Amino acid sequence: MGIRTGQDYINGLKSRPREVWLEGRRVTDLLNEPNFRQPIQEIAKLYDMQHDPEYKEKITDICEETGERVSNAFLVPKSFDDLMRRRNLYEAWAEATFGLMGRSPDFLNVTVTSMASNYKFFERYNSKWAENIVNYHKYIRDNDLFLTHALINPQNDRSKAAHEQKDTFTHLGAVEETSEGIVVRGAKMLATLAPITDEVIIYPFPGFRKGDERYTLSFAIPIDTPGLRIVCREPMQSGKRPVFDHPLASRFEEMDAVLIFNDVLVPWNRVFVHNNLEAGNTVYAQTGLSQNTHQNGVRGLVKLRFAQQVASRVADAIGVDGFLNVQTQLGELAQSVETIRALLRTAENEYAINEQGEAVPSFTSLETIRGILPKAYPRAIEVIQTIGAGGLLLSPTGFDVEHPELREDINRYYGGRESVEAYDRIRLFKLAWDLSGEAFGQRLVQYERYYSGDPVRKLGMFYNKYKQENQFTMVDRALQLDKSENLSMN
């Protein structure tokens, strides 16, 4: 099949009714559900871009194995140029959503590509797992599927291991093996966009202890598999709030969900890791899963740049960007953007070819982006709030703007600095408030903090690796100086 269109994606959703729970009710008509209607359209637009002459050659390529055109996310990069082709895709899709939809299909497509290209990891433990991941990659590539993922156990008691929780199956675990596959039970979080995807992949973060064997699971199944329940968080927009008042929230909300597996059968050919502590603890680091940090970096840069531009436009619209205190805040944001941009360039230019022949961007630079963004993005939001100040809260609604009795007052009192009309200023400030004040905007901040794990532990892991790879020999050299110069202690 190769690349899908938006309509193909929508037809796929229609053909696979899944168990989605939203605000205490079961969603029966996904496509017409107000909360999902527009996000589905936004994802469909991304698929359509694959057929758009402006993007087609940039974001898709011919697959050597099948001769069909596929997304660049499914192709294993072998060189710098291949990495750039991947970046083109990340960038084009991130810009289409202003970086606000972090879990666009490229994110997990590239993750599975990386797992499959590192099939030797799986082979070390079980040749069937290796075969399964390679076949699964081909399947999602050839059908251009959209995946969600859930790595994290529910937040019940973090001081205890999975097997020490109150209930054996609070955390997702294997119940039994049958001739057809493994029956799994329990919950995983936090599957972003799950209600509107095609498949879910489970893979573990490190941290398993002895006794946790049954929880060391990696597998993928269709999102409509019987027994799989998707429980959505409270929506951040009703789906009915006017686009004029909520230009971002009404379009780009990514629903997050807890996945509950009620004795779900995972067929053997979809099992990638099972019942193995060592594999469970190392699969994340050793199968190039961090390849998706390249997508994160590119997408994060687009989002940060968007926030920086919103801050600058807000300051300009009300004539405050001549003040030094405002300029220092805007300059700080511009420098954050440039820092991430430079790190991204370094990550790409300092790529390495791994044992499988795959071009891998520099882990150090990408992880540094990962460390900086959770601070830089919330700061950008704080700057928008600080510069927009009270004005962010005072925008009239679209209904007010259109009311003939109010029009004159609105035009008189809501304009910005000279030549900034009231209508334009109101629209800009509404956009800024969606990004910085609404629950939608606060989720985007939380996303930047946590989207790829706990930043605290990630930084610890980063430092351990950095220490291993860097011997800090300058210090030894400095300590040798007095010896070589034969200085006495006196």
Ligand X SMILES: Cc1cc2nc3c(=O)[nH]c(=O)nc-3n(C[C@H](O)[C@H](O)[C@H](O)COP(=O)(O)OP(=O)(O)OC[C@H]3O[C@@H](n4cnc5c(N)ncnc54)[C@H](O)[C@@H]3O)c2cc1C
User: Should residue 155 be labelled a site residue for ligand X when binding is judged by CB under 6 A?
Assistant: yes
Contacts with ligand X in 388-447 (CB under 6 A)? 443, 446-447
User: CB of 116 within 8 A of CB of 288?
Assistant: no
Burial of 24 (0-12, 13-18, 19+ CB in 10 A): exposed
User: Should residue 363 be labelled a site residue for ligand X when binding is judged by CB under 6 A?
Assistant: no
Angle between helices 363-388 and 439-450 (to 10 degrees): 160
Out of 54, 390, 456, 487, the residue judged to bind ligand X by CB under 6 A: 456
Beta pairing, strands 147-149 & 199-202: parallel
Contacts with ligand X in 254-283 (CB under 6 A)? 256
User: Should residue 150 be labelled a site residue for ligand X when binding is judged by CB under 6 A?
Assistant: yes
User: Should residue 230 be labelled a site residue for ligand X when binding is judged by CB under 6 A?
Assistant: no
DSSP H helical ranges for 188-291: 249-252, 277-286
User: Should residue 468 be labelled a site residue for ligand X when binding is judged by CB under 6 A?
Assistant: no
15: Cβ contacts below 8 Å, ≥ 6 apart: none
The conformation of residue 167, written as its DSSP 8-state character, comes to S
Cβ closest to ligand X, residue 27 vs residue 444? 444
User: Should residue 375 be labelled a site residue for ligand X when binding is judged by CB under 6 A?
Assistant: no
H or E segment to which residue 465 belongs: helix 455-469
Residue 46 and residue 196: Cα distance in Å, rounded?
14
Cβ closest to ligand X, residue 332 vs residue 454? 454
Cβ closest to ligand X, residue 300 vs residue 396? 300
Cβ closest to ligand X, residue 46 vs residue 70? 46
User: Strand, helix or coil at 53?
Assistant: coil
Residue 264 and residue 186: Cα distance in Å, rounded?
10
User: Should residue 457 be labelled a site residue for ligand X when binding is judged by CB under 6 A?
Assistant: yes
Cβ closest to ligand X, residue 103 vs residue 370? 103
User: Should residue 299 be labelled a site residue for ligand X when binding is judged by CB under 6 A?
Assistant: no
**Binding-site positions for FAD:** 149-151, 155-158, 192, 454-457
Contacts with ligand X in 163-202 (CB under 6 A)? 190-192
Contacts with ligand X in 92-121 (CB under 6 A)? 103
User: Should residue 232 be labelled a site residue for ligand X when binding is judged by CB under 6 A?
Assistant: no
Out of 137, 149, 171, 303, the residue judged to bind ligand X by CB under 6 A: 149
Mark residue 351 as left, alpha or beta (left: phi above 0; alpha: psi -120 to 50; beta: remaining): beta
Residues that bind ligand X (CB under 6 A): 103, 149-152, 155, 158, 190-192, 256, 443, 446-447, 450-451, 453-454, 456-457
